[in-house]
Amino acid sequence: MGRHSLLGSCLAGAALLLLAAPAGAETLYVQVGGGDWATANMAAFVEPFEKETGIDVEPVRDFMPLSKLKLMVENNNIEVDVADVPWPDYNVAVQNGWLEPIDYGIYKPGELEGLAGHARKDYGVAAMYAAYVLAYRTDVYTAGVARPANWVEFWDCAKFPGERTLRGGFYGSGPWEEALLADGVPVDQLYPMDIDRVFASLDRLKPCVTKWWKEGSEGQQLLADGVVDLAHVFNARATNLMRQGVPVEIEWNQAKLQIDFWVIPKGSKNVEAAQKFIEFATRAENQAKWAELFPYGPSNQNAFQHISAETAAILPTAPENWAKVIVRNDDWYAEKDANGQTNLEKLVERWNAWAIE
């Protein structure tokens, strides 16, 4: 091939790459979390997305607390183009105008049908259904030994001794509903939550808690290493330990369902690429691949056409498990008082003071 022909081919190739990538996009920064969750996000979403689109993705192995999202948007310093946030945080972010609207015009009709109801929001697309579950070490709670089967029993340190870990309220998501259930509040009377009663219940449990975990991988590791015997953890974290042969089992009774959303922080310079990534990550086949790697329930219900029966049975959305879960009232967290403070903000403020007492 002559020099001019080679140059022409290179220029043509460069032009195609420019057309494939969104205008103005260089690198798309996507929050992938940590531990097994990050590994699954990379394998199911990030790597195949790069291959399909030619868009370079820089994974951000971190989480997105509301405080960070607020700071980025208000200072016009967007460090993450695509983030995963729980529903209460999504609601607060929408109230404050911190998110870009989702462009559903780029979705195929079949995929939209699978993203029904609350999975499809104006400013976010549901990423998955996770559940906080009660998990225990079976080498401590062996066959024939009584095991806690609900949060009342988890709170009973005399009858069920052992080291414990629960999620702390650092980001606003915490064992609030569990604390009320442990104090005898019926499921249908959890909301509006009595925050004073929540922390009075946590006061009783506090001496039995070895560590309040902040990120999901931390709670998983405490259980894996045998540092704790009982844990309040995400279901996929416990399931992956079971798959690895760690002596752990899950109690699905009173598990608490959480829905996370893929969102784009307001002011992202890579909005077009971010829209494409979220669309890719919520396709049925890609969600199925992700659920096989990290067993949370897919938000695209068509994913179940591609998920093995074995995996489908251990997801929060499996009929047997779904009958036992509590669906968190995330709208309550975004409600504001007369001073404009949300319930989520109140919980974070209260936690920060309580944790150092």
CA atoms of 66 and 36, how far apart (whole Å): 23
Is residue 65 pLDDT above 50, yes or no?
Answer: yes
Q: Tell me the chain's radius of gyration from C-alpha atoms.
A: 22
Residue 14 has pLDDT above 70, yes or no: no
Q: How far apart are CA 64 and CA 67, in angstroms?
A: 8
Phi, psi for residue 329 in degrees, rounded to 5 = -85, 85
Provide the mean pLDDT of the chain: 92
Instruction: Mention every residue, 6+ apart, whose C-beta is less than 8 A from residue 73.
Output: 98, 265, 266, 267
Q: How far apart are CA 272 and CA 262, in angstroms?
A: 14
Task: Summarize the confidence of residues 37-47 as an average pLDDT.
Answer: 97
pLDDT of 212 strictly over 90: yes
pLDDT surpassing 50 at residue 241: yes
Ranges 21-25, 189-193, 345-349: which has the least confidence? 21-25
Which percentage of the chain shows pLDDT scores above 70?
Answer: 93
| Whole-number Å distance between alpha carbons of 190 and 179 | 10
Percent over 90 (pLDDT), the chain: 90
Residue 3 has pLDDT above 60, yes or no: no
- pLDDT band at residue 6, thresholds of 50, 70 and 90? very low
Is the pLDDT at 348 greater than 70? The verdict is yes
Cβ(90)–Cβ(121) below 8 Å: yes
Q: Which residues pair with 257 in a beta bridge?
A: 131, 327
Those residues whose C-beta lies under 8 Å from the C-beta of residue 219, and which sit 6 or more positions away, are 165, 167, 213, 231, 232, 233, 234, 237
Instruction: Return the sign of the alpha-carbon dihedral for residues 4, 6, 12, 17.
Output: negative
Residue type for position 58: E
Q: Write down the pTM of the prediction.
A: 0.86
The domains found in the chain, sorted by start residue, are 3-129+260-312 (3.40.190.10), 131-257+327-354 (3.40.190.10)
218, pLDDT greater than 50 = yes
Cross-strand partners of 136:
230, 249
Instruction: Confirm if 303 and 114 have CB atoms less than 8 A apart.
Output: yes
**Res. 113: pLDDT tops 60:** yes
What is the arithmetic mean of pLDDT over 319-335? 93
pLDDT > 90? residue 21: no
Can you give the pLDDT at residue 319? 87
pLDDT at 185 over 70: yes
For 149-195, the DSSP string reads -SHHHHT-TTTS-S-EEEE-SSSS-SSHHHHHHHTT--GGG--S--H
Mean pLDDT of 336-356: 96
- Predicted confidence at residue 357, as pLDDT, reads 86
User: Which is more confidently placed, 242 or 117?
Assistant: 242
State the pLDDT confidence band at 299, using cuts at 50, 70 and 90: very high
Q: What is the arithmetic mean of pLDDT over 305-318?
A: 94
Greater confidence (63 vs 99) lies with 99
27 Rama sector, left if φ>0, alpha if ψ -120 to 50, beta otherwise: beta
pLDDT at 209 over 90: yes
Q: What is the pLDDT of residue 11?
A: 38
